[in-house]
Amino acid sequence: MSAVLIVDDEKGIREGLTTAIEGLGHRALPAPSLAEARRLVSSEPVDCILLDIRLRDGDGLDLLRELRGGEHREIPVVVATAYGDSDRTIEAMRDGAFDYVTKPFDLPLLLATVERALRQRTLQRALPPRTPPPRTAVGGGLIGQSTAMLAIWKQIGRAAASDAPVLITGETGTGKELVARAIHEYSPLAKEPFVAVNLAALPASLIESELFGHERGAFTGATARRAGRFELAQGGTLFLDEIGDLDALLQTKLLRVLQDGQFERVGGSEPISCRARVLTATNKPVRPGVAGATLREDLYYRLAVFEIEVPPLRARRSDIPLLVVHALDGSPARAVSEDAMAHLQGYEWPGNVRELLHVLRRAAAMCGGEIIDTPDLPPSVRAQPRGREPQATPLERLPLKEAVAVLERRMIADALERTSGNRSEAARQLGIARAQLYLKMEEYGVGGRTERGNGGK
């Protein structure tokens, strides 16, 4: 039996809530004032507090802050606010309230909120003391113990022992840059610069200058000599992300640099030696003979002396608990419930690790406690059946809100795939404004490349 402290100075409300709480099989502890509430918290085991903000002997938020700063910080507090009292609601949530309900009460909603708070308390009690996450990360962020990740680590070790170019392939959000950084960090060049550039985030007209630099007066606006990324990476590692987006002319120039071992700044004639190891990455097909390959064949073979394919998250679901532990390190939430974990491991994760981290950050900020439970997950993840082998859920069996979310997410992901990540074109095909598409992508954690010139992914 759980104990619920009811703090309200209106006798009729206290009595009504006491009857409702006891009807759920819990013990009700009514308190007409803040003073009595403080006494009960210090003398009775309390599992949840239903707290009115406006009381005759003070402000309920003062008690909330005291609890959050003291030994009873783990007791979930549901605050009651007047309808439309937005400032107080914001203050309550900022100061650590589990949730809020408005007066006059919607009793079924209030009781459901109390039950969620009590479940949070039960889950919290089962948590071990907070400890640092196990050291399972390498290369500044690669995490996993699955067979697929062990294979990646082996390839990283072999590539790190060489100075040959490496091509890293894989879907968006799988961690290709982390693989590149790990190769650099474990190589003899670890103390030298690591310079990364996302080619898809740059206008085609600026890529040559970004890579090779330019001389003063080389073009309008070139008021001074500027070093390019190849120069900045001299003696270290240059990582070219989204190499599959490089146009044909620049592919030719890059090939010449790799073949000759030197380059010239735009507008210059002095040859500069290229002393940077080149790592590249792409989520597009680039291997010769593959439909839609975007790299010229001779450049591909120059770049792919080593080729590492990073697996999607759905191919290494056993790593999700480890990723969760590391994602929550230092956040308000400490863990996820068993049921929530089942949904996380059953979801397809089209956005891969990047999408998982987005979902966890959002859930940790919104859960109102130390445990992320299933209701804290986005509708698209909750709609995924529990279990390791996801299967489609007919939309007609879902609540309307969840069905709409699932359908929107699928349509956005499909449009981005059809347009190779071009958001403007995807928005046009979906019949919505680009700004609205951006908001939906953020809400659902869907990734995708932007068209060149719009400032990045």
8 A C-beta contact, residue 170 and residue 283 = yes
CATH architecture of 392-457: Orthogonal Bundle (1.10)
* From the candidate CATH numbers 3.40.1160.10, 3.40.50.2300, 3.40.50.970, 3.30.450.20, the one assigned to the domain spanning 3-125: 3.40.50.2300
pLDDT digits (tens, 9 = 90+) for 270-306: 889 889 999 999 999 998 888 889 999 999 999 999 9
Q: Is residue 454 over pLDDT 80?
A: no
Please report the pLDDT score of residue 276 as a whole number. 94
Topology of the domain covering 143-311: Rossmann fold (3.40.50)
- Is 70 exceeded by the pLDDT of residue 395? no
Helix 60-68 vs helix 86-94: angle between axes, to the nearest 10 degrees?
10
Topology adopted by domain 328-388: Helicase, Ruva Protein; domain 3 (1.10.8)
pLDDT of residue 443: 66
Instruction: Calculate what percentage of the chain has a pLDDT beyond 70.
Output: 89
State the average pLDDT over residues 425-434: 85
pLDDT of residue 396: 62
Secondary structure (3-state) at 318: helix
Q: What is the mean pLDDT of residues 159-166?
A: 94
What's residue 1's pLDDT?
85
| Residue 227 reports pLDDT greater than 60 | yes
* 348-to-99, 222, 245, 324, 355 alpha-carbon distances in Å: 30, 47, 26, 16, 11
Provide the 3-class DSSP secondary structure of residue 147: helix
CATH code 3.40.50.300 region(s) in the chain: 143-311
> Span 32-36, mean pLDDT?
95
Is residue 397 scored above 80 in pLDDT? no
Would you list the DSSP string of 380-424? HHHTSPSSSS--PPPGGGS-HHHHHHHHHHHHHHHHHHHTTT-HH
- Encoding tokens for residue 167? 């091509």
For β-strands 237-241 and 262-263, DSSP reports them as unpaired
The amino acid that residue 233 corresponds to is A
- List, by residue range, all CATH 1.10.8.60 domains of the chain: 328-388
- Report the pLDDT averaged over residues 52-65: 93
The boundaries of every CATH 1.10.10.60 domain in the chain are: 392-457
Averaged pLDDT, 185-199: 95
Judge whether residue 39 has pLDDT over 70: yes
What are the tens digits of pLDDT across the range 119-156? 988 888 877 666 655 555 555 568 888 888 888 888 99
| 363: three-class secondary structure by DSSP | helix
Q: What is the pLDDT of residues 76-110, one digit of tens each?
A: 999 988 766 777 888 888 888 998 888 888 888 89
Element housing 123 (H / E):
helix 107-125
309-322 mean pLDDT: 91
- Is 70 exceeded by the pLDDT of residue 450? no
